[in-house]
Amino acid sequence: EIVMTQSPATLSVSPGERATLSCRASQSVTSKLAWYQQKPGQAPRLLIYGASTRATGIPARFSGSGSGTEFTLTISSLQSEDFAVYYCQHYSNWPLTFGGGTKVESK
């Protein structure tokens, strides 16, 4: 099983600032990596797939990078609606696994 490790667990950011979230895989997942955003009481929403492709309707301030075992989600200028928990997920093989999440909170 591929273990996905996200860091930090909590990120305190002011609106307008840049947020950088990390996700590490215990073995290579090539570019088979997705990022999701989840707000309280809501289902997850797909942000990024293929490590760097924005899903439909996702603002350009969200970007993904990386391949192999190291991945990054960057929010270039944090908006109030971006405070949420973010999860990475690999889909390289079975079982699919998610990272533990990074909570982005207001500083």
Partner 1 sequence: EVQLLESGGGLVQPGGSLRLSCAASGFTFSSYSMTWVRQAPGKGLEWVSAIRRDSSTVYADSVKGRFTISRDNSKNTLYLQMSSLRAEDTAIYYCAKDCGGTWCFDSWGQGTLVTVSS
Residue choice 13, 24, 28, 45 for contact with partner 1 (CB under 8 A): 45
55 binds partner 1 (CB under 8 A): yes
DSSP type of residue 11: E
Residue choice 11, 34, 73, 78 for contact with partner 1 (CB under 8 A): 34
User: Which positions ≥6 away from 96 have C-beta within 8 Å?
Assistant: 89, 90
Query: First vs last Cα of the chain: how many Å apart?
Result: 35
Query: Cis ω on the peptide bond leading into residue 59 (within 30° of 0)?
Result: no
97 binds partner 1 (CB under 8 A): yes
What part of residues 76-95 is at the interface with partner 1 (CB under 8 A)? 87, 89, 91, 94-95
40 binds partner 1 (CB under 8 A): no
Task: For residue 80, give the 3-state DSSP assignment.
Answer: helix
Binding site for partner 1 (CB under 8 A): 32, 34, 36, 38, 42-46, 49-50, 55-56, 87, 89, 91, 94-101
